Amino acid sequence: MSQKQADDIRQSVRDSYAKVAEASDAGECCGVETSCCGVSADINSVHSTRLGYSENDLNHIPGGADMGLGCGNPRAIASLQADEVVLDLGSGGGFDAFLAAREVGEHGQVIGVDMTPAMVSKARRNAETAGFSNVEFRLGEIEYLPVADSSVDVIISNCVINLSPDKARVFREAYRALRPGGRLAISDVVATATLPDEVRDDPHLHACCVAGAALVDELQAMLEQACFTDIRITPKDESREFISDWVPGSGVEDYVVSAHIEAIKPE
C-alpha cells in the first residue's frame, strides 16, 4: 500500500470519528449516519454493559466519554496494578483511559493517543471536567506513537488497530514503547474468514471496524515479527450479536468477531 493510500484510509477514519465526536458534543442533533457508531448515551450504556463493563465502571467516568465505540473491555484482561503506566491506542473520548486511570491510581499514569483532533479535544475536556490529574491525551497516530522507548507497562486498545492501514508498524511501535516485561491487552475485531473484496474496499465498512480486520493468523505473524512472546488471540463468539448490529443486514458478523489480543515484550 502506498503512503497516499494509507493516508487516505486514515483520513476517511478521521472524518468518521470527527463526526461522531461532534455529534456527541451536540447531543446527537446532527443526525450523523452512524450505523456502526452509537451516539446516544442510553444506547451506549446498554452497549457497554454488553461488552463487559460494569454499572460501577459506567458511573465513574465523565459523561460523554463513553460513545459506545468499543468492541470489548481491554481492562478485563489487562490486570492493571497501582502505579502502572498505561498507553491507550486510539483513546477516543477517553472512556477506557479514565477507567484505567482509576485503577492505576494517582501515582500511575495513563496516556491516550488518538489521531482525530476532535476526539483529543473532547477527551481533554472530559478529563478536565472530571478532574483527572493522571491522564493525558496526545494527538498522534498509532503507527508513530508519541511516547519514549520502553516507557510503558501496559498497552490497551479497544477496537482501533483494525482501522490502521499498517498494523505491522503499530505492533512494532507498541513493542518499542513497552518496557521489557510489559504487556499488550487489546480488544479488537479479527477476521474469521477472508473478507470479500467489496467489503474490504468499502471505506464506510472500514471506519465501522469491519473491512480493516486482519485474519487471526496474520495478526499472530505480525506480533511474532515484532518480537512479542506469549501471544494469545482469543476470539469471542458472543460478540456476534453486537457486531451484527453495526451494519444491520450486511452479514458482516459472518466475517469478523471480537477478540482479546494479548502478548508480552520479553525481559
Partner 1 sequence: MNQCDKDRPVEDPLEQVRLLYTELAQNPEKEFGWGKGKENASALGYTGEWLSCLPDSVWESAAAVGNPFSLGPIHAGETVIDIGCGAGADACIAAMLVGKTGMVLGIDCTPAMITKARENAEVSGLPQVVFQVAEMTELPLTDSAADLVISNGAINLAEDKDTVLAEAYRVLRPGGRLQIADMVRDTSTGNSVCCRAEESWADCVSGTLEPGTFLFMLTRAGFVDAELVGFTAYRTATSTTGALFRAVKPG
Say if residues 190 and 235 touch (Cβ distance below 8 Å).
yes
145-164 binders of partner 1 (CB under 8 A): 145-149
C-beta of 72: minimal distance to partner 1 in Å? Answer: 26
C-beta of 210: minimal distance to partner 1 in Å? Answer: 23
Bridge partner residues of 178 (DSSP): 152
Which helix (H) or strand (E) covers residue 173, if one does? helix 167-177
Say if residues 183 and 262 touch (Cβ distance below 8 Å).
yes
Positive or negative, the CA dihedral 188, 192, 197, 198 is negative
Instruction: Tell me which stretch binds partner 1 (CB under 8 A): 8-16, 43-51, 60-68, 71-79.
Output: 8-16
C-beta of 145: minimal distance to partner 1 in Å? Answer: 8
Q: Does 29 bind partner 1 (CB under 8 A)?
A: yes
Q: Does 139 bind partner 1 (CB under 8 A)?
A: yes
Which of 117, 196, 251, 266 forms a contact with partner 1 (CB under 8 A)?
117
Say if residues 104 and 110 touch (Cβ distance below 8 Å).
yes
Cα-trace Rg, the chain: 17
Reference 111, options 81, 129, 132; nearest CA is 132
Question: What is the rounded distance in angstroms from the CA atom of residue 42 to the CA atom of residue 38?
Answer: 10
Q: Which amino acid does the sequence have at 220?
A: Q
Please say which residue, 4 or 107, places its beta carbon nearer to partner 1.
4
Which of 41, 58, 138, 204 forms a contact with partner 1 (CB under 8 A)?
138
What is the bridge-based pairing of β-strands 178-191 and 85-89? unpaired
Residue 245 C-alpha cell reads as: 448490529
C-beta of 8: minimal distance to partner 1 in Å? Answer: 8
Please say which residue, 30 or 215, places its beta carbon nearer to partner 1.
30
Q: Which amino acid does the sequence have at 75?
A: R
C-beta of 22: minimal distance to partner 1 in Å? Answer: 8
Which of 45, 121, 192, 244 forms a contact with partner 1 (CB under 8 A)?
121
9-28 binders of partner 1 (CB under 8 A): 10-11, 14, 25-27
Q: Does 241 bind partner 1 (CB under 8 A)?
A: no
Q: Does 63 bind partner 1 (CB under 8 A)?
A: no
Which of 52, 105, 140, 203 forms a contact with partner 1 (CB under 8 A)?
140
Reference 157, options 244, 249, 238, 260; nearest CA is 260
C-beta of 233: minimal distance to partner 1 in Å? Answer: 29
Mapped onto helix, strand or coil, the DSSP state of residue 175 is: helix
* List of residues contacting partner 1 (CB under 8 A): 2-4, 7-8, 10-11, 14, 25-27, 29-30, 115, 117, 121, 138-141, 144-149
